[in-house]
Structure 1
Amino acid sequence: MRRIVFALLLTLALPVAAQSTQPKKLVPIPESPELPLPPPLSDSEQDASLEPQVTIIKRGEDTVEEYRSNGRLYMIKITPRIGLPYYLIDNRGDGTFATHSDMEQGIRPPMWVIHRF
């Protein structure tokens, strides 16, 4: 029994002893200098074509918002007087719009245009 207690104390004491010894002549790491912030973009440098163009149209008591990017209509938001707004989205870019509402829980991955031929 004494051997087990001694072995247990030895296994617990060795890691503590190993941690307490530090190498000599340690040199602290110098702090890294802060990087300067980039200058803010002026209005002329910002690309206005990246922002979608939104056209708001009142049709009776309904509000229709048309979203365009590069002159191409990609989404229509219809807000009726009574009820929740719903969206018509051109998923493929062929002009065919599919219905999407806020109540749907479907997954819609982002689709970016990398290059057009």
Structure 2
Amino acid sequence: MKLPPLITATLLALGLSAGLVPAALAQQDADESVSPDITVRQEEDRTIREYRVNGQLYAIEVQPKAGPSYYLVDDNGDGDFRRSDNERVVPPQWVLISW
């Protein structure tokens, strides 16, 4: 039995969209799990923000009362922080599974 082209196209579109919905939901869950936890501490001469993902400290922002803020960044996860004056710190967002 051969189906008319309109019905075939409709069934194909429904089948494709059904496959895309779980992938979109998985991507949304992956994005939410990467959002950093930020801890803010106030000291007498500066404010310190610690950025963590899954409990791992990867960046520290130091905002002195006078002067611009700066960042201490752990690039490779070994606990060795280096100073970075770049104001944009991006949490790691690796794609582990993709369809």
Q: TM-score, normalised by structure 2?
A: 0.57
Q: CA deviation at 1:59?
A: 1.1
Q: Which has the higher contact order (CA 8 A, sep 6+)?
A: 2
Distance, in Å, in 2 between the alignment partners of 1:111 and 1:69 is 8
Cα pair 2:34 2:93 within 8 Å, conserved: no
State the structure with more CA Rg.
1
**1:96 paired residue number:** 80
| Residue-pair matches, total | 74
**2:40 paired residue number:** 56
**Aligned pairs for 1:35-46 within 5 A:** 46=29
Unpaired runs of 5+ residues, structure 1, are 1-34, 104-109
How much is the aligned-residue C-alpha RMSD, in angstroms? Answer: 3.8
2:52 to 48, 56, 68: 68
Task: Read off the aligned partner of 2:60 and give its amino acid letter.
Answer: I
1:77 to 61, 67, 70: 61
**1:106 paired residue number:** none
**1:9 paired residue number:** none
Distance, in Å, in 2 between the alignment partners of 1:52 and 1:77 is 13
- The structure where helix makes up a greater share of residues is 2
Identity %: 34
Q: TM-score, normalised by structure 1?
A: 0.49
- Report runs of 4+ in structure 1 exceeding 6 Å deviation: none
Task: Read off the aligned partner of 1:100 and give its amino acid letter.
Answer: S
1:87 to 71, 76, 88: 71
Distance, in Å, in 2 between the alignment partners of 1:102 and 1:90 is 13
